[in-house]
Amino acid sequence: MAFTTKRRTQFTLYSAATAQRGDVIEYYQTPVNAKTPLDALKNIELPPNLHIQHEYHRFHPDTDTMFGGISVFTKSSTIVTGLKYKKKYKGHVAKTSWP
């Protein structure tokens, strides 16, 4: 008996990829919330005795001249890691007393 292309089988072949296709589609259709927890607090109603300062002040020894640019935390660096705030706030690497 020769195999012809006109003959169709009633069997459906399932593979692991076929079974997981629905999971992949669902995964990529899931909405992503990229807000940080601090940004999420902007939109909720807070109790009257709680206040969150969203536009805060970051210490930098070149711009803060109140105490001559000296920080209370002399060996603590101010490192800005977020892409949004790297342009807004300048980081500061503190000097260490020994290598």
Domain boundaries, the chain: 59-99
CB 40 within 8 A of CB 54: no
Taking the model in full, what pTM does it have? 0.40
Per-residue pLDDT 10s for the chain (99 aa) are 454 555 555 655 555 666 677 778 888 899 988 888 888 888 889 899 998 888 877 778 888 888 887 877 778 888 888 887 788 888 878 887 776
CA distances from 55 to 2, 38, 39, 79, 88 (A): 78, 11, 11, 17, 11
CA 51 to chain centre: 24
Closest CA to 82 of 33, 38, 30: 38
